[in-house]
Amino acid sequence: MTQVRSQPQRTCLGCRQVKDKSQLIRFVRSPDGEILVDLKGRLPGRGTYLCNSRACIEAAVGRKQFDRTFRQTCQPVTADQLVDGVAKELLAHMASLLGMARKSARFVSGGNAVQDALARKKPLAVIILARDISPQIGDKVRRKAEYQKIVTTKLFDKIELGRILGRAERSVVGLPDGKLAEAFLDDLLRYQDISGES
């Protein structure tokens, strides 16, 4: 009988709840006292953890929990700065996942190609609309996607989406079902939680 290994657990600095490490965001103190977001958990040094929540970050900053945890004075930081840092790290990670989709050719891009995939009921897991997509195209794609219960989101702009995919401007990108799309959706949910964007 195979035993399921339990996940390491950590306590959130803000709400003090104990959760699986994978559900929390790691922060480290740099040698010069700066608090850094360590989304991938790879930065050296002692780490501390917070829920992916503005309220927990505000509580930790307000109670000077970073100074206590690291037992050293940290550079002054606001909750907004940390929230922005987490959001930027998540956006960068989603961009790298789209880059992986490009390398493995596991994506559909362009308004017509994505609409064709939706018409054929090709199993797309998520559709990314550029923030500056034309309202007509955006609404048309979103309606078709919602009808098929496919997650849609607005991220990046057309030039940035094209650059990530190694192409000209792109207004729409679709990711098919699979592990890469699952990882993207996980980051997207965390990004929406921390940024307040939908």
pLDDT in tens, 17-58: 999 998 999 999 999 999 999 988 889 988 999 999 999 999
Same domain, yes or no: 65 and 146: no
Q: Look-up: residue for tokens 């650059």? A: 163
Same domain, yes or no: 18 and 106: no
CA distance to 61, 70, 95, per residue, from 184 (Å):
29, 32, 9
149-157: average pLDDT: 94
Same domain, yes or no: 107 and 132: yes
- What are the start-end ranges of the H helices in the chain? 54-62, 65-70, 79-103, 111-119, 135-147, 158-164, 179-195
Within-domain flag for 3: no
Which pLDDT belongs to residue 6? 73
Within-domain flag for 36: yes
Q: Which of 77, 100, 118 is the last residue of a domain?
A: 77
Whole-number mean pLDDT of the chain? Answer: 91
| Structural domain count of the chain | 2
Residue 58: Cβ within 10 Å count: 16
Q: Which of 50, 77, 104 is the last residue of a domain?
A: 77
